[in-house]
Amino acid sequence: MEYRPLGKTGLNVSVAGLGCGGNSRLGLGRGASVDDCIAVARTAIDLGVNFLDTAEVYGTEEIVGAAVRHYDRDKLVISTKAIFKPDADTAESVTRRVEASLRRLGLDYVDVFHFHAVNPAAYEFHRDVLAPALVTLKEQGKVRHVGITETGPKDPEQKMLAQAIHEAPWEVIMLAYSLVNQGARQNVFPTTRRRGIGTLLMFVVRNIFSNDAYRRDVFAKLAEQGLLDRSILSNGDPLAFLLSEGGAESITDAAYRYARHEQGADVILFGTGNKAHVKANIDSILRPPLAAPVVERLHAQFGHLTGVGLDLPGPVKA
């Protein structure tokens, strides 16, 4: 495993981070037992993953808590999140929800607590009303660092983060980034690198990379809309060159490697409910970068796209 600083937090994190939500939710999404889900998380930790991200809404905080119980807590970085609504929550809600997460996790503190899936219209409420309560919890030692995550499918232009990355108190952000959703390369990473904000990358691999039929359908629609040159469809799979020219073992392998080696990427989040897939995902994240000409082609062909591949968890509609 490789490790790197998470911005200026002082935390040293594995470049591969276990995401405990998404479609899989460690296996809960397909009906796996709690013990099997715990085994998936422990497989990742045993392979060197020290960053685990969960959330109230995922229903996996108890599983993460059980999974980490027999490891050295000081060597693990645990992140969790909660969704707050301006018309229903107050500063007092933050304290209640953080303490509830700690109870479910069975921990005295979390390394990062995020406001989860914040849309642009709700950003000022989170910053002005809720964030001071989270800063107080940091002062009390219940939260080590303050984070915020975007809602990729509902904010594809990353308007919320475009403001947040310039302001206090955010120390860590979670954002959508992939080889067909490259907006952060110009709009987010230069600022997070300059200001020392830690970055957690989600949506790196989604259905558009793992489902061939779905991918062809999405690209065909983009061509119809004039967002891609129709010639990209002439040889079948528009991403096949990643295998033939890029030396990738699969499209998903290429997707992980592309994101992992982007300047400004700290942690690449992956999710699975299959122990065998844990190692495969980590192996991809740890492989060398794609060849420079291949990366340049990805930038040239897809760098202008916005919000592609940001499908929410659920069945694929091909």
Q: List the domains of the chain with CATH numbers.
A: 3-302 (3.20.20.100)
Q: What is the DSSP letter of 157?
A: T
Q: Are 175 and 150 in contact (CB under 8 A)?
A: yes
The pair of structure tokens assigned to 54 is 């969960």
Rounded CA-CA distance 304/60 in Å is: 36
Rounded CA-CA distance 136/92 in Å is: 11
Q: Are 237 and 218 in contact (CB under 8 A)?
A: no
- Tell me the angle at which helices 91-105 and 131-139 cross, rounded to the nearest 10 degrees: 50
Model pLDDT, residue 232? 87
Q: Is the whole-model pTM more than 0.85?
A: yes
The pair of structure tokens assigned to 124 is 């000022």
Mean pLDDT of 135-160: 97
Model pLDDT, residue 311? 83
Mean pLDDT of 264-290: 97
Mean pLDDT of 163-171: 98
Per residue in 171-224, pLDDT (tens digit) is 999 999 999 999 999 999 999 999 999 999 999 999 999 999 999 999 999 999
- Taking 50 as the threshold, does the pLDDT of residue 317 lie above it? no
Model pLDDT, residue 316? 36
Furthest CA-CA distance within the chain: 59
Query: Which of these, 101, 87, 88, lies nearest to 147 by C-alpha position?
Result: 101
- The number of beta carbons lying within 10 Å of the beta carbon of residue 226 is 8
The pair of structure tokens assigned to 14 is 């594995």
Q: For residue 44, what are the CA distances in angstroms to 3, 35, 40?
A: 14, 15, 7
Query: Which of these, 199, 105, 214, 203, lies nearest to 148 by C-alpha position?
Result: 199
* Residues in CB range of 231: below 8 A, 6 or more apart: none
Measured in degrees and rounded to the nearest 5, phi and psi for residue 289 equal -65, 155
- Taking 70 as the threshold, does the pLDDT of residue 267 lie above it? yes
Q: Are 143 and 113 in contact (CB under 8 A)?
A: yes
Q: If you average pLDDT over every residue of the chain, what do you get?
A: 95
- The number of beta carbons lying within 10 Å of the beta carbon of residue 196 is 12
Per residue in 11-55, pLDDT (tens digit) is 999 999 999 999 899 999 999 999 999 999 999 999 999 999 999
Per residue in 59-105, pLDDT (tens digit) is 999 999 999 998 999 999 999 999 999 999 999 999 999 999 999 99
Lowest-confidence region among 137-146, 238-247, 302-311: 238-247
Model pLDDT, residue 315? 43
Mean pLDDT of 154-175: 98
